[in-house]
């Protein structure tokens, strides 16, 4: 597939926003249970909610660049009975509204309302992770995506990046939460490493279910393609294949494996050890840059069956 950067930014940005909200609400619940000190800070939660909304809003804004007719965006929600994309389109604004209400409750100092609204937002957050992952995981003929690991990886990457951001954000605003967020970010990053390696290993063993015969509908045992059928490119050649070299494709894989996992872990560890805002902030920036590369690789790795025809060279 040919990765669209609008979708890359959509999925990575809302993932950060979702992960950050989960971190905020976890801190809220821990404070209620008396497991973290000082007591729950309304200012910290309100500012954190605003930051989460900023990432969610940027992701939603990026999605409009993927639409041929943005003025018809509302139509994307009409197929909610059968389309995971429609369900995502519905859940995302409701989740943003819930996060806004959660932050407002903290701003107004209403702890009980914040607890209730946060619970609603958490349910919507998990639902959004499922919807986003299932948009790709439900496409059976793209074997690289058709696995539960797609949903797991989307969820873990979002949570890991969100907690990494929460670690940097909490250092100047709620220092007592830095060890909690930092250790959780490290654990989530390690978990996402294991599941992403599992998906890479799985995809490396895949064998195409389609052949040139099934792709074209021609049952003859010997098919030789003489021409593509047009002198120039087409929607099929532009949309369903990334067009990059094998070296570029493999380089992106190693780039994201380094930027998403070992480098942020090193920066997080040193940032926690030295209480350095610079190191913690750099950990998030590096990890997010790696997630952009990872998401590009995720889309580019999917091999559409139509490529058997359009990439065949006689």
Give the pLDDT band (50/70/90) at residue 208.
confident
Q: Which two tokens stand for residue 114?
A: 């914040």
pLDDT of residue 78: 83
CB 103 within 8 A of CB 87: no
- Read off φ and ψ for residue 182, nearest 5 degrees: -65, -45
φ/ψ of 81, rounded to 5, equals: -70, -30
Both tokens assigned to 171: 């250092």
Question: pLDDT category, 308, cuts 50, 70, 90?
Answer: low
What is the Cα–Cα distance from 188 to 301, expressed in whole angstroms? 24
Give the chain's mean pLDDT.
89
Residue-level pLDDT at 314: 35
Structure confidence by residue, pLDDT tens digits, 91-104: 999 999 999 999 99
Whether residue 225 is predicted with pLDDT greater than 80 in this model: the reply is no
Residue pLDDT, tens place only, 247-293: 988 999 999 999 999 999 999 999 999 999 999 999 999 999 999 99
**Overall average pLDDT of the 100-128 stretch:** 96
If pLDDT is split at 50, 70 and 90, which confidence band does 313 have? very low
Which CATH superfamily includes the segment(s) 5-218+226-310? Formate dehydrogenase/DMSO reductase domain (1.20.1630.10)
* pLDDT value of residue 234: 66
Alpha-carbon distance of 9 to 291, in angstroms, equals 9
d(CA 189, CA 312): 39
Q: What is the mean pLDDT of residues 185-189?
A: 98
The structural domains of the chain, with segments of one domain joined by +, span: 5-218+226-310
Separation between Cα atoms, residue 85 and residue 270, nearest integer Å: 40
pLDDT digits (tens, 9 = 90+) for 2-54: 788 899 999 999 999 999 999 999 999 999 988 886 555 889 999 999 999 99
Provide the H-helix boundaries in the chain. 5-32, 42-63, 84-107, 111-137, 148-173, 178-204, 212-216, 235-239, 246-260, 262-274, 277-301, 307-310
Phi-psi sector, 243: left (phi>0), alpha (psi -120 to 50), beta = left
């Amino acid at each position: 597939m040919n990765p669209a950067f609008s979708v890359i930014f959509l999925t990575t940005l809302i993932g950060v926003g979702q992960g950050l909200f989960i971190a905020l609400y976890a801190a809220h619940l821990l404070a209620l249970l008396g497991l973290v000190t000082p007591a729950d800070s309304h200012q910290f939660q309100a500012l954190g909610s605003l930051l989460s909304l900023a990432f969610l809003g940027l992701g939603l804004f990026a999605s409009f660049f993927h639409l041929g007719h943005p003025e018809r965006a509302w139509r994307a929600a009409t197929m909610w009975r059968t389309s995971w994309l429609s369900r995502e389109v519905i859940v995302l604004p409701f989740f943003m509204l819930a996060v806004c209400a959660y932050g407002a409750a903290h701003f107004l100092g209403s702890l009980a309302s914040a607890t209730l609204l946060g619970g609603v937002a958490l349910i919507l957050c998990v639902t959004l992770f499922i919807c986003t992952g299932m948009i790709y995981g439900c496409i059976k003929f793209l074997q690289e995506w058709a696995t539960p690991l797609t949903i797991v990886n989307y969820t873990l990457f979002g949570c890991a990046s969100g907690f990494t951001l929460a670690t940097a954000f909490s250092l100047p605003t709620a220092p007592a939460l830095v060890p909690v967020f930092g250790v959780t970010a490290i654990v989530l990053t390690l978990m996402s490493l294991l599941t992403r390696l599992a998906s890479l290993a799985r995809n490396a063993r895949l064998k195409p279910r389609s052949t040139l015969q099934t792709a074209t509908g021609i049952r003859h045992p010997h098919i030789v393609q003489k021409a593509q059928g047009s002198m120039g490119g087409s929607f099929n050649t532009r949309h369903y294949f990334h067009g990059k070299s094998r070296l570029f494709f493999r380089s992106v894989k190693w780039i994201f494996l380094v930027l998403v996992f070992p480098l942020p872990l090193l920066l997080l560890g040193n940032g926690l050890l030295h209480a350095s805002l610079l190191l913690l902030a750099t950990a998030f920036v590096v990890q997010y840059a790696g997630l952009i590369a990872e998401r590009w690789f995720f889309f580019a790795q999917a091999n559409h069956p139509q490529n058997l025809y359009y990439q065949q060279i006689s």
